[in-house]
Amino acid sequence: MNLLMCPVCRQALVLKDKTWRCASHHSYDVAKQGYVNLHVVQHKHSKNPGDTPESVQARRAFLSAGFYAPLQQAVVKLIRELCIENLLDIGCGEGYYTDAMQAEVLQCVGVDIAKNAVQVAAKLNKNVTWVVGTGAVLPVVDASINLCTSLFSPIPEQEILRVLKDQGYLMVVTPATEHLYAMREALFEEVNPHEPAKFVEQLSLHFDLVQEHVIDAPMLLQQQDLKHLIAMTPYAYKAKPELRQALEQKQQFELNAQFQIYLFQKKA
């Protein structure tokens, strides 16, 4: 089944000879790296939206070293238990989680607004349909998706409701209360615990919470891994430069990553 939707006229897209086309003759070529760009100019708010190339490369280096593997494994296990046909990963970034999730489904679409991130992701796994696109208009046809995933990404609720099948699922992964607390203490004068439960309240009108899990990933980071972690987070530009530099000079740093996984089901 073709899942992609034309972002201009909202009709289904069909792939033929490395070009996606709709009935209205809008066409989108598959790039040589293996992704398609469905982020049309009328939906753009900046020239190069999303993560910077530096952030993408830092994330790729850090994640490929396996520090967040406990989260990746927990997400994959949950998807396996659902026994579903397809999923849409919203904000797939450079593809670390999407790549692992794809093995559990027949069809997998990864979408991100950052073109440079999708270019990196497309080299990982040719069985994922990689798309440059925006959550404001998810480039997927109505009522076609079994599971939407949003890992540390925006949650465009109305668009998710549109693309999900009846009683489809939404998986949200967000920082748990103590996520990277030691690092934040080093970077900021005042540190507040994360508040993951806010998503349960925000989504309660249209979704039932069916599962929740907290995953811990204790780490002892060497200096280069610590630099990669800082660079891939928003803390890189939110922290005072002198505090960031002081932390980056540490040869080793011990901290705990803590993730909150919520699985929701669309209300009937």
Q: Tell whether 95 is in a known binding site.
A: yes
* H or E element in which residue 227 lies: helix 223-232
Q: Tell whether 45 is in a known binding site.
A: no
Identify which of 26, 4, 216 has the alpha carbon closest to the alpha carbon of residue 110: 4
Most distant pair of Cα atoms in the chain: their distance: 58
Q: Which residue is associated with the tokens 């967000």?
A: 174
Q: Tell whether 22 is in a known binding site.
A: yes
Contact 226, 250 (CB under 8 A): yes
Within 13 A of 35's CA, how many CA atoms are on the CB side? 29
Contact 35, 130 (CB under 8 A): yes
Q: Tell whether 108 is in a known binding site.
A: no
Integer Cα distance of 216 and 137 in angstroms:
33
Q: Tell whether 6 is in a known binding site.
A: yes
Integer Cα distance of 173 and 175 in angstroms:
7
Q: Tell whether 94 is in a known binding site.
A: yes
Question: Which tokens hold the place of 23?
Answer: 């009935």
Question: Which tokens hold the place of 191?
Answer: 């540190």
Query: Would you tell me the crossing angle of helices 53-64 and 223-232 to the nearest 10 degrees?
Result: 130
Buried/exposed 213-239: b ≥16 CB within 10 Å, e otherwise:
bebebebebeeebbbbbbbbbebbeeb
Rg (C-alpha) for the chain, rounded Å, is 19
Question: Which tokens hold the place of 264?
Answer: 């929701």
Indicate the annotated binding residues for S-adenosyl-L-methionine.
68, 94-95, 179
Indicate the annotated binding residues for Zn(2+).
6, 9, 22, 26
Indicate the annotated binding residues.
6, 9, 22, 26, 68, 94-95, 179
